[in-house]
Amino acid sequence: MTTRILLSTTSYQDTPGSHHDLLDSQGWEIVRERGPLSEERMLELAGGFDGFLCGDDAITAAVIDKSLPRLKWISKYGIGLDKIDKAYATKKGIPIGFTPGVNHTTVAEHTFGLMLGLTKKIFEAYAHTINGDWKRPTGNEIMGKRLGVIGMGRIGKEVLIRAGAFDMQCSAYDLYWDGEFAKDHDVRRHDTVDGLLRACDIVSLNCSLDDSTRGLIDAGAIASMKDGAVLINCARGEIVDTQAIVDALNSGKLGGYGADVLDVEPPPADHPLFSTPNTAITTHIGSRTYESVVRQATKATRNLINFVNGEPPVAQANEVRPVSSTGS
């Protein structure tokens, strides 16, 4: 029986590159969908695939159950696993491949794009210009400002490296502290999120989403921030309490919010953050560059090829021995 794969990541599909040739060379039957797919849609599709090559689709316990016994592998395009019930997949013996180390440069660059756009009033000035106005808002330099990074993983480190080039003062919070990196890049350590929020002019969220970070930036956290501080979120929309962000922007407590992610994607047309001041929302494109997509897509495809051949993937997110398509 021909190996049948559900491909749902739109970045993979929409971006030209060698990953398409690699996928086509396998002789698999590929079914293409436009993700991220809801649980409802995944349940409609589940049951007829040997593997998922997925983005941020809802792969819940119910989806996994409906997909069995045929489903053997999940290959995640990207690094965020919060939409996959990893514990249940592991329980059912389904290995999960993912692609760490492919998009940290791209996301760090996007973080600075949002940061500069807000602090230098670039987004605001552009809005005036296209509306036929010639208004000249006054912004701020980021040089000398204290930047706080929550999550000093690959992406957080790249943000801190670039902050040094802008002559910013750097702080970070992470449970797993890399002292050597911090020393090399003059990064001040904060033992608590609250301490970092109190100290920083600009805060960048670069942590993963899990039970400890869901709703991390709520009304209480925002109250501890400096008046007029800027918050950048290129991590996950659920890390912040959306209503708390809206309230803080409307009151002026937050001086700006730049995000590449939202709590609901795609969002409704009346999402509350679309009508708040000093806000810039991009459409989850932080890692969507021609360079990064090819790296991610190639690694995700290689993971799946290895799974099908009964070999270890390039990177695996759970402890399950891969099996070949013949069940060996």
Catalytic sites, residue numbers: 236, 265, 284
List the beta strands (DSSP E) in 102-191: 146-150, 169-173, 187-189
Q: Which two tokens stand for residue 283?
A: 């459409």
**What are the strands of the beta sheet with 279-281, ordered from one edge?**
187-189, 169-173, 146-150, 202-205, 229-233, 254-259, 279-281
- How far is C-alpha 92 from the geometric centre of its chain's CA atoms? 26
Question: How many distinct helices (H) and strands (E) make up the chain?
Answer: 13, 12
In 3D space, the residue among 100, 101, 93 whose CA is nearest the CA of residue 319 turns out to be: 93
Q: Which two tokens stand for residue 193?
A: 């999120």
Residue 270 is given by DSSP the state T
Residue 226 is given by DSSP the state P
Burial category of 24 from C-beta neighbours within 10 Å (exposed 0-12, middle 13-18, buried 19 and up): exposed
Beta carbons within 10 angstroms of residue 162's beta carbon:
17
Q: Between 104-119 and 122-130, two packed helices, what is the crossing angle to 10 degrees?
A: 70
Q: Which two tokens stand for residue 117?
A: 């756009």
Place of tokens 């040739």: 21
